[in-house]
Amino acid sequence: MDKSIGQFDFDEIVPRRGTGSVKWDSLPPGSLSSLGTPGNVIPLWVADMDFRAAPAILQAVQQRAAHGVFGYTEVGEAYYYAIIGWFQRRHRWNIQREEIIYTTGVVPAVSAALQALTMHGEKVLIFSPAYNCFFSSIRNSGCEVLESPLRSMGAAPFEVDWADFEAKCADEKTTVFLLCNPHNPTGRVWTADELRRMNDICLRHGVKVVSDEIHCELIMPGHRFQPFAAVSEECRQNSVVLNSPSKSFNIAGLQIANIICAVPEWRRRIDRAVNINEVCDVNPFGPVALMAAYNDSEQWIDSLNAYLWGNYQALQAFFAQHMPQCVVTPLEGTYLVWVNISALLSAAAPAAPATPECSEPTEAFCQRLLTEARVRVNPGTMYGSVTGRGYIRLNIAIQRSLLMEALHRIHAFVS
């Protein structure tokens, strides 16, 4: 199949440097002295994509901009029906209009949910490794982070350690389980049976579930996304779901997200937290982009997933041929590939000591990869100080030519 899927050209290079892009125009602290400028760095780090948004989204935003007046925004009924229609049509999830609270992003939504459902000093359970903002959101909400390490299965998908998960839920201070579904950074797409089992354990111990489902449309062949709240009525009544088109449709900068909760008392408290945190007002472009995504961009998202799968297959083949000592975790969902580079670190340890800026070997590897090969990736320790050791996370939502150039640079560096 041609790398440009159907009518959408994902191979087109869209220059982003000089546009104020976090991904392309920023450098990590301490790198300015060695790099000077981002220059020809290929960024495979922060989770946004290098593709143009879907044509329907571009058209909707351009039409709204042409109006020329950008005052305070009221979200109309068409917004809610776009959400309801999309999830019913695509994921067989029946959402009620009153269950939806809009806000500016999924991370603010995480914080609002935690502040509404916990008290200071309580524990919030997460699977580790975990999305790095989970750690800060939990701590900023006055709670303790409690990690249940996922079990690495080598070249097989990560698995839940069910005994450990239940033991952590049984801790009397644990009141919320913060789930990432699909999981960042391991790329797991949790099955309905796994989600049901998580909820059964949580119910036994009085633990509420907050499910971050921002990656829900980024699903690879052979897998199906299951909304947590649509697994069963028991899941629906014990959960708060957070989602947004921002990750899947590459519109993070337009700042729109939704909190979906079927429990009226929880919803009232969450709505109050959203207002206290002052993340209740959205800009004029977010709602129109969401409606264009959910009403008119289904073919685009399917084509995107096909392209991302091609990128993953190319990456997997490259590692197998050139760096077989690395273990590439199977990608079920997201566009974030979790790679075990422990063998490289062991082989390089005598000749590649940690840098003054980075004493941890994984972080030192990533720092040297940036300064010497000019490829930026995320060290696994961002996602777990213990569970992330020896891993890197690669963002493959980039044109294939640039992905392959980055992989060749990585190979040259480790050789």
User: What range does the domain containing 136 cover?
Assistant: 68-294
* Residue 383 falls inside a structural domain: yes
Largest CA distance in the chain: 63
Question: Cβ atoms within 10 A of the Cβ of 129, count?
Answer: 29
Q: Where are the beta strands (DSSP E) in 38-88?
A: 42-43
* Residue 61 falls inside a structural domain: no
Q: Which of 294, 324, 357 finishes a domain?
A: 294
- Which amino acid, one-letter code, is at 402? L
* Residue 283 falls inside a structural domain: yes
Those residues whose C-beta lies under 8 Å from the C-beta of residue 319, and which sit 6 or more positions away, are: 326, 328, 339, 407
Per-residue pLDDT of the chain (415 residues; tens, 9 = 90+): 444 567 899 999 999 999 999 999 998 876 655 566 677 999 999 999 999 999 999 999 999 999 999 999 999 999 999 999 999 999 999 999 999 999 999 999 999 999 999 999 999 999 999 999 999 999 999 999 999 999 998 889 999 999 999 999 999 999 999 999 999 999 999 999 999 999 999 999 999 999 999 999 999 999 999 999 999 999 999 999 999 999 999 999 999 999 999 999 999 999 999 999 999 999 999 999 999 999 999 999 999 999 999 999 999 999 999 999 999 999 999 999 999 999 999 876 544 455 555 679 999 999 999 999 999 999 999 999 999 999 999 999 999 999 999 999 999 999 9
The answer to whether residues 95 and 31 belong to one domain is no
* Residue 5 falls inside a structural domain: no
Q: Which of 260, 294, 328 finishes a domain?
A: 294
The answer to whether residues 146 and 175 belong to one domain is yes
CATH of residue 313's domain is 3.90.1150.10
Q: Residue 346's pLDDT is what?
A: 84
The answer to whether residues 198 and 226 belong to one domain is yes
Closest CA to 327 of 187, 177, 121: 187
CATH of residue 161's domain is 3.40.640.10
What gap in Å lies between CA 312 and CA 330, rounded to an integer?
Answer: 9
In tens, the pLDDT along 232-257 reads 999 999 999 999 999 999 999 999 99
The answer to whether residues 26 and 82 belong to one domain is no
* Residue 4 falls inside a structural domain: no
The answer to whether residues 384 and 241 belong to one domain is no
Those residues whose C-beta lies under 8 Å from the C-beta of residue 23, and which sit 6 or more positions away, are: 16, 43, 45, 46, 48, 50
The answer to whether residues 269 and 316 belong to one domain is no
Tokens matching residue 229: 């709240």
The answer to whether residues 77 and 178 belong to one domain is yes
The answer to whether residues 130 and 263 belong to one domain is yes
Exposed, middle or buried by CB within 10 Å (0-12, 13-18, 19+), for 279? buried
Q: Which of 294, 309, 342 finishes a domain?
A: 294
* Residue 60 falls inside a structural domain: no
In tens, the pLDDT along 102-128 reads 999 999 999 999 999 999 999 999 999
| 95 and 81 Cβ atoms separated by less than 8 Å | no
In tens, the pLDDT along 350-380 reads 444 555 556 799 999 999 999 999 999 999 9
Interstrand relation of 257-261 and 239-243 (parallel, antiparallel or unpaired): antiparallel
* Residue 143 falls inside a structural domain: yes
* Residue 113 falls inside a structural domain: yes
Tokens matching residue 50: 């290098």
3-state secondary structure of 378: strand
Q: How many domains does the chain have?
A: 2
The answer to whether residues 140 and 93 belong to one domain is yes
The answer to whether residues 275 and 389 belong to one domain is no
